[in-house]
Amino acid sequence: MDMERINDYCWKIPRHGNMRVDGVIYASKRMLNDIVNDESCQQVVNVACLPGIVKASLAMPDIHWGYGFPIGGVAAFDIEEGIISPGGVGYDINCGVRLLRTDLAASDIAPKVREIVNHLFREIPTGVGSHHKNFKLGKEDLRDVLKEGACWVVRRGYGDENDLAHIEAEGCIRGADPQAVSERAKERGKDQLGTLGSGNHFVEVQVVEEIYDDAAASVMGLFLGQLTVTVHTGSRGLGHQICDDHIEIMLAASRRYKIELPDKQLCCAPVTSPEGRKYFAAMAAGANFAFANRQMITHWVREVLEKTLHMGPAELGLSPVYDVCHNIAKFEEHMVGNASRKLCVHRKGATRAYPAKHPEVPAVYRDIGQPVLIPGDMGRYSFVLVGTEKAMEETFGSTCHGAGRLMSRHQAKKICRGRNIEQELLEKGIIVRGASRETVVEEVPEAYKDVADVVDAVAGAGISKKVAKLRPLGVIKG
């Protein structure tokens, strides 16, 4: 595949064939060598063929092969002429990350880390099909969660208004309709609020190891040596079922509206069509469930830390820095040429990265830009960034979302035969608890790109700015 160098961190796949726009990949030259060996580059080209796409089919440096759209892909579509696609959001609707800060130095609680990890593992259900034994939703409650998101959880006493002020979209995507969600999806989700699930989802206890931007870190309440906790999970079985349900609908819709698809996994419908509106309403409901899920887990984390450390809320000082979506389609205003246009922006394995002064950035962060949370693998580090004006100009205010897989779960299991991954991580000072040994093996650090390379690429491209690095002390995995 022909590629043109735009700069050291940006590469163009020129428009050809049925492409309506160019493809653009953000990556260093070294990272690009791995990326081009993956089918994800062809997926960037395929997305560029869809009706109504605006400017370019974009990919972040953590790009890898996904369902239809690449994971790490960003694409914006015109409201009148464009489409909306389940493949552009993914199965785990609003899989996302929440960073929690405390007032504590990690060194002060070092002897308690194992106890904290074990207690988190007991209180937060993990693994495939996990559900919470003490927290179940009735039909009316589930309906309200799908409409209100994290707001419903806070209204029930599991958090406060400050939590909501530090969540993308304040924890609720408007336009959600519980009636657009199938009974099968609701059945799968009703007992899963406040659960971690499986795969790469985790709750991680961390220490702030490095500060790159003192002013931005101070605004976020971050300091060197600080104890933090990151929560990474999404909409669980409910979101997966919503995607499954609507893929069938969209396959028929693609034929009905005579949309030529280079890959049937890109099945879609016009944004304004009945099928498009129904998918958005269901997807928004799934996203709201995910916001509520992370809010409930925040409550369990608070309880665990308070009990384990024998501290009250004021002494602990646990509060969200921010909460961001990874898999979402949203209606947003962006400049295209010299005009502001309303677009349907798909971010799949990508994070919103709005700059300073943007009206949707919480007031407390208006002078520094939106916090961007980039988790790495469980053996290395994660990063906190902020959005930039260049991201608004080039990527619809988007950046990377994580490390990105280098190898499949099957490959990871193959290279780990005969190894004790938990012991290897313990020797690095990281305590790991997983739902099964298989889960831990599948998430072995070398299965992922080095997230530092990913972050350096987006920082080098100017679409994000580094603020802090977090090192894991203990982690529970799904």
Concerning whether 119 is annotated as a catalytic residue, the answer is no
How far is 94 from 325, CA to CA, in rounded Å?
Answer: 5
In 3D space, the residue among 289, 285, 295 whose CA is nearest the CA of residue 162 turns out to be 295
Task: State the CB neighbour count (10 A cutoff) for residue 33.
Answer: 10
Q: How far apart are CA 196 and CA 300, in angstroms?
A: 11
Closest by Cα among 327, 289, 316, 319 to 153: 289
Nearest to 233 by CA among 167, 163, 292, 166: 292
CB-CB contact of 3 with 13 (8 Å): yes
Number of C-beta neighbours around residue 452 at 10 A = 16
First to last CA, the chain: 37
Q: How far apart are CA 57 and CA 16, in angstroms?
A: 13
Find out whether 402 and 96 touch, Cβ atoms under 8 Å.
no
C-alpha to C-alpha distance for 308 and 292, rounded to whole angstroms? 24
Of residues 246, 123, 135, the one with CA closest to residue 185? 246
CA distance 22 to 1: 13
Q: Report the residue count for the chain.
A: 478
Catalytic residue among 64, 232, 326, 401: 401
- Number of Cβ atoms within 10 Å of the Cβ of 333: 10
Kindly state the tokens that stand for 378.
């469980």
**DSSP secondary structure code for residue 445 in this structure:** G
Query: Which residues are known to be catalytic?
Result: 401
